[in-house]
C-alpha cells in the first residue's frame, strides 16, 4: 500500500514541477511550493505578492488499461483504438468528482485544480478543438488548468490551458 501512496505523491510532485514554471510565466507570478500534503495536494506561495493558495493535482488517463500501461503495471505495450470523445468523457467525470470533493478540503484560501493529461496520444491541440465539449461543473476551485503536451514539442508536459 505504501508504494501506491509514494507513487501518487511522486506523480503529484512531477506535475507541480512541470506546472508551476508555466503558470508563473502565464500569470507573471513567482509561486513556489510551500508544502505537499493532502486536500489540497500542495500549498504554493508567492512571496513577492504575499499570497498563497492550494493546488489539487489530478491525472487524466484514457482508461484503466492505459493507466496500467503507463505506470508499468501491464505487460501490454499496445492499447488499441482510442477515441478522443472518450477522453473528454473521462475528463468531464474527473471534473465532476473533484468538484464535489473540494468541499472537504482543509484549506480556506483559493484552490486551483491542475489536470495533468497523461495519455501520450492526445496533445493540447485536441483539447483546444474540443473545448466546447468540456463540462466544467460549478465548484469552489478558483481556476482549473489542463497540463498537456504541445504537438510542436518533443518534451513532455509543456502547455497549460485554463478551462475555468
Share above pLDDT 90 across residues of the chain, in percent, rounded to a whole number = 44
CB 127 within 8 A of CB 144: no
Range of the domain at 41: 2-162
Q: Which pTM was predicted?
A: 0.85
Integer Cα distance of 7 and 1 in angstroms: 10
The DSSP symbol for 133 reads G
Number of compact structural domains in the chain: 1
Query: pLDDT band at 62, cuts 50/70/90?
Result: confident
> In angstroms, rounded to a whole number, what is the distance separating the alpha carbons of residues 68 and 51?
38
CA 48 to chain centroid, in Å, comes to 25
Amino acid at each position: 500500500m505504501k508504494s501506491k501512496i509514494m507513487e501518487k505523491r511522486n506523480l503529484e510532485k512531477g506535475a507541480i514541477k512541470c506546472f508551476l514554471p508555466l503558470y508563473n510565466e502565464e500569470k507573471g507570478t513567482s509561486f513556489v511550493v510551500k508544502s505537499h500534503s493532502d486536500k489540497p495536494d500542495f500549498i504554493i506561495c508567492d512571496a513577492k505578492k504575499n499570497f498563497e493558495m492550494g493546488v489539487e493535482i489530478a491525472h487524466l488517463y484514457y482508461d484503466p488499461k492505459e493507466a496500467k500501461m503507463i505506470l508499468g503495471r501491464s505487460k501490454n505495450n499496445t492499447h488499441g483504438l482510442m477515441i478522443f470523445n472518450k477522453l473528454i468523457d473521462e475528463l468531464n467525470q474527473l471534473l465532476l468528482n473533484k468538484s464535489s470533493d473540494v468541499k472537504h478540503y482543509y484549506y480556506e484560501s483559493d484552490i486551483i485544480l491542475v489536470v495533468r493529461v497523461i495519455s501520450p496520444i492526445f496533445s493540447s491541440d485536441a483539447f483546444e478543438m474540443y473545448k466546447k465539449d468540456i463540462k466544467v461543473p460549478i465548484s469552489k476551485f478558483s481556476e482549473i488548468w489542463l497540463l498537456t503536451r504541445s504537438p510542436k514539442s518533443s518534451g513532455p508536459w509543456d502547455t497549460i490551458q485554463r478551462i475555468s
